[in-house]
Structures are given as structure tokens and as C-alpha cells.
Amino acid sequence: MKFFASCGKGLEYLLADELVALGCTRATAAIAGVNVEGGLVDAQRAVLWSRLASRVLWPLAEFDCADERALYAGIAALPWPEHLADGDTIAVDAHVSGDGLTHARYAAQRVKDAVVDVMRDATGARPDVDVEHPDLPLNLVVRKGRAILSVDLGGGPLHRRGWRQQQGEAPLKENLAAAVLLRGRWPRVYADGGALLDPMCGSGTLLIEGALMAADVAPGLLRHGSFAPTRWKGFDVAGWKALRDDALAREQAGRAALRPVFFGRDIDPHAIRAARDNEVMAGLAGVIDLQVAGVEALGADSLPESTRATGLAVCNPPYDIRLAADPALYRALGDGLRRAVPGWRASLLCGDAELAYATGLRAQKKYQLFNGAIECTLILADPVAPPQRERATQAQQDVLGEGAQMVANRLRRNLRKLKAWRQREGVTCFRAYDADLPEYAAAIDVYQTDEAAPRTFLHVQEYAAPADIPEPVQRRRLNELLAAAREVFAVPREQVALKTRARGKGGSKYGRFDARGEFIVVREGDARLRVNLFDYLDTGLFLDHRPMRLRIADEAEDARFLNLFGYTGAATVQAAIGRARTTTTVDLSATYLQWCADNLQENGVGGGRHRLVQADAMAWLAADTGEYDLVFCDPPTFSNSKRAGDFDVQAEHARLLRAAVARLSRDGVLYFSNNFRRFRLDDAAVAEFARVEEISAGTIPPDFERNGRIHRCWRVVRR
């Protein structure tokens, strides 16, 4: 009998070898899987024991399938009461290609219809669909006019081992972790008395997989518990029980003999806590030595002396969906491994060949693997530091490559230019770079914390590249810019917030951000302001408006201050510190208003004199009857809020200003600003009710002068 075992691309040959070792007659690598010859017991053994397979698919039928009618007929021809019991649920996972069937969801629906119709006619009852935990999970593949319908014997993805309770931002699938270990020959290393080290362990996937592998624990034991993975009537329950009993005996012996030679380090304490939780769920409590530490701390004494002789270092260093990563981090990883375990073997799953090269390790072998949709490079170094290795090239010795050095030179030049101004004005948060070199299109903002021992954070925002710039070129340039920034400012990677653009169907857009909930406090003039660099596109503080906010602080004494579209309330805080009589902040977002409240509290101001209003600014102005001496209005360019409807600053600004000016006191002043580069003030309309003076030049700080028109600003008074 032939069946199919699927896997991630790049794992096919490893999986074929594994299945033959598990007793299958023959296994031939295909694309993203292996064609296997063997009996049902072999397929069920693969479900229990395969560390590399994603699914094990046992075929029920294969037939010609030109269109949806042929699909329905082929499925309806099967004796479904022989496969499915009354009351059992089903789910269909479909993959189709060709002209006859073009929609996988529709194909899955037709399979379900055929099964339901046959069961209803035979038993009078229809099976329900349960996509999460079906009793009979079915898999359909239609390719080149042929359909294959199979039972998913594992009941779902086999990489889910059953122990994971916590995971990081980008968790490594367990079967890919197994591939990293097997390519590094971990079973042989352990048998020879070696240890396992992951210096960036995250939630512990590589270490836990390695420990369970060393303990001879079948990967399917925790996943399925004491139950069979499917209620398919053709499943050999007695055979499964025998396989499981044997696996339990092997597990008991393996865990009893397991040596505690597993070491995990990570700079993120949250990741270490997650790894400890997962360690406990995997039945490995006390086996893995987990500590909070960065790769810079790796040294000759990082591990117990008894474990230093031989071992395997494994790692999946960080990179995002665009493979944006810091080459300096990879260099630090390679340097740390050379210091700590020079005679060990290393198996490192890197973002790509360029990042792998940045480790400085000499790779004996390289493999292309896929972490989900991301093509990665797995390198094997044996040993980590060859005793007679060749001299590194000058490019390897240099801290920065040519492109990164060019960016670093520009950054240093900008810092020298801004130094006197920053010292004179006491500026600690500023823009250091704004696409000064066109091919390195990003903005770099510096945020220094207001602490006794200030820390420096960088906020890097990538600009959209022209469509004709290849993705690898964009990635390389971004990595070079990051390397230059970290070198110049001497900041660790965890203090760099990166906002990158990823291409999607709708064009270029920013990728997903973190959810750290991490705030830092910075100083602007006499104000302390809370900033979040990692969770949102904007940080909570528009640096280009610094002069305008300080101007508000100077003019706010005894004024009734109104902040429209108040955002996080930085202008409100400056007015409050400037001894405004009252402040009113209006914004539609409850999140921003809470942020404003926290900013006020950070400065020891609050109470009834400072009012926060959650409302649409236009609607609120129409209803408000108050009078204000100082107003700041910085609306968005465009908004399509469900609560307030559409807002377009170009179309609505005259109406907005008329309503705001109506709230001004006799000698009141309104400052109106926006950052729409093509904005044109409707002079004629505004002149009917106000006198306007553009003051943009005086509100653009030196660190934004290179940008030209980052924003425009007007001083408005009643006519």
C-alpha cells in the first residue's frame, strides 16, 4: 500500500530516511512530502513516531476529476457507513489546481455534501462539521485532473506535540526544530556524552525537542494522550494500542536515564518564563538550565566544566517575515559561540545566506529550509572554531561593510551638526537620519530616557521602496542601515524598534508590530512624556512638533487651553506645565485619552482643571459652548472612523477652523497644523472669519529641516 507523508519544504530527504528507519518498505522524496510504501501499521507508527512529518495521509480513493460533478460523484461512490459512525463529525482540508476546480473551499464543500448525502440516505442522520476536532479529518488533493481523498491519520498537524503552553512572537515549529537537531546529528552527539546549548532559546522549542529526542519520547504521546488520533472505522485501534504501549515503555526508560545536559539562554525574561512553563508541560522540569542572558555574555565559563568537552549548539536567531534582522546580532552570536564552545558542532537556522555569513562561522554544509513561508538557510559548522582556520577576510574583520559604513558616516555627520543645538536646547529625543542617502530609505529617531542612568532607544521606520527595487536589495539595505545605527549609537538590539514595510496585495504596507505594552519616559523641556516605541506605528510623540509644544508652554499661563485631536496629550501636558488655568483635550480614541491621563499624572498634574473628552472633534465643536484662550488643532490627513465617519483635512479644514475660531475668546489664538504635503489653505473661505499667518518655518526644528515640509502651521485669530 502507498500513503503520503507531508512535511515542510526542505525536509523531504530527512523525512524519507526517517520513515525507512521506522520500518516502511520504501520512501521517495516528493515536493513538500514523501511517497511511502508500507502497511497501515507503518502509517500509524509514523503518526506516533515521526518527528519531521506534518501529516500522514492514508488514501481512501483516487479517481478522475475534471470538474465539481466528477468530484461529487467520486466521493459519493464511497461506502461512507464503513468509514464513519453515526454522530461522528468530519472536516475537509482541500488543495486544488488546474482549470476544472479552482476554489479549494468550494471543493471541500462538495466533498462534505457528498459524504452527508450518502450518510443521510444510509442511516437517516447527517454528520456535522467540526473544523477544530473532527472525528474523521479528510484531505483532498486535485491535481492534473486526478483526485485523491485521504484520511488524515494524525487528526491534524503533527508538529503540535502537546506540550506548548507559551510561545514567542515567531515560534519555531517542532518538526522544523527536529530537522535542525537532526542535521546537527544531535542523537549521535548525545550518545557520545555531549550537551545541547541554545543561546537564544526563546520559548525553548529546540531544547525541549532535543531533550525529548534524547529521552526516546515518541512525539505523538503527549499530543494524543490515551486516545486514538481519529475515529475513522478503518483505524487499527488494537495496533495503535500496541504501538503506544511500546512507546510508553521506551519513554519510561529514556526519561529515567536522561542526563541534564541542556542549556538555554535568552535576553528576554518573558521568553525564559515561557520556556520554563513549556519545560514543565513536557515533563522535563529541572532538566533544562534556563537563564536570562544575552549572547554577549557567552564565554568559556558559561557552562559547567563537565559539559564543555563536546556538544551541539543550536539556534534560530531572530528575523521577521522580510528577513529584516541585525547582522551585528549574528556576528555577536558567532563570536559568543567561538568563546564558549569552540570545539562543538553548531546547527544554526538563519534568516538567509547573508545573515548566516554574518555569524563569521565557516559552514561545512548549507541547507535551504522553510520556516512557514520564509525561506531560510541552515548552516552546519563542525567545529565552531577550527584550530587551523583560514584568516578572516577584511570584510569579515570590519565591523561594518561598505554600505553600512556609508550610513554610519552620514549618521555621525548629522550628530556633529546637531550637537550644539541639542546641548543648548536640552533635546534628548530627535531625528538623526531621514533618508539622507536615497538608497537607504528610512527614518531613525533617537529617544533617550529621563533616568539617572539614561538609556538610548532607536525608532527606525522604513519608507516604501520603488516597485522596481528587488526585495533582496531592500532587505540588504535595511540590514546595513540597522547595523550602522547600532554601531554609531552603541545600543543593543532590544532597544531598537523597527517598523518595516511588507508587500501585500494592496501594495506596500507596514507589517505587524509587537504587543509589549512597554513604555519609556522621556523629557521634553520641563515635561516628562510616556512613549511606546514598539506597539504602534507612531510612538505617542510627534518629534517634529517639539517647537510648537514648547511655544504652547510659553503662552499657556492662565489660559483656557483646548487641544483638538489631542492624541496622547503631549501638547496638553506642556500647557499644564505652563500653568494653564484649565485644559480640555478632545479625541475619539479612549486609548489615547488614557495615555494623555497617564502623561498628566507623570508630571503631577491632574484633577478637575484638566478635562478629557472622548468625542469626534467636529461634532464636539458644534455642541460645545465654552470659550478658550489658546487652541491647538492638529488633525489627521484622513480618517474613516466608524464612529465619526470620514474626515479629509483638505475638504473639511475651513469648516473645522470656523467652528474652532467660534470658540476663541476675544484675544484668543488658534494654532492649526497638519502634515498633508499637498495641503492648500482655503484663504478666501478662512478670511471670512479669521486672520491667518503661516508660521511653518518657525515650527520646523533643526533635526527636521532636511525633510522640508514635514508639517505646516498657521497662527489664527478672530477677525
Q: Which of 565, 521, 183, 527 is nearest to 381 (CA)?
A: 183
CATH class of 402-510: alpha beta
Residue 510 in 3-state DSSP? Answer: strand
Which range, of 18-32, 302-316, 491-505, 628-642, averages the lowest pLDDT? Answer: 491-505
Look up residue 643 and give its three cell numbers: 464612529
Give the per-residue pLDDT at 503.
44
CATH class of 2-152: alpha beta
Domains 2-152 and 402-510 share a fold: no
Convert the pLDDT of each residue in 313-370 to its tens digit: 999 998 865 545 678 889 999 999 999 999 999 999 998 777 888 898 988 888 989 8
Distance CA 379, CA 180 (A): 9
Q: What letter represents residue 36's amino acid?
A: V
Mean pLDDT of 511-535: 85
Tell me which CATH homologous superfamily contains domain 542-718.
Vaccinia Virus protein VP39 (3.40.50.150)
Tell me which CATH homologous superfamily contains domain 174-215+258-393.
Vaccinia Virus protein VP39 (3.40.50.150)
Cα–Cα distances (Å) from 30 to 43, 256, 272, in that order, read 17, 38, 38
Distance CA 654, CA 644 (A): 18
Distance CA 379, CA 182 (A): 12
Pairing of strands 136-143, 146-152: antiparallel
pTM, to two decimals: 0.60
Convert the pLDDT of each residue in 627-674 to its tens digit: 999 999 999 998 877 666 788 999 999 999 999 999 999 999 999 999
Domain ranges of the chain: 2-152, 174-215+258-393, 402-510, 542-718
pLDDT at position 243 over 90? yes
Look up residue 257 and give its three cell numbers: 536515564
Residue 594 in 3-state DSSP? Answer: helix
Query: To the nearest whole number, what is the mean pLDDT of the chain?
Result: 91
Distance CA 572, CA 563 (A): 7
Give the per-residue pLDDT at 466.
83
**Is residue 390 very low, low, confident or very high in pLDDT (cuts 50, 70, 90)?**
very low
List the 2-6 sheet strands across, edge first.
26-30, 33-37, 2-6, 55-64, 146-152, 136-143, 90-96
Q: Which of 519, 368, 355 is nearest to 449 (CA)?
A: 519
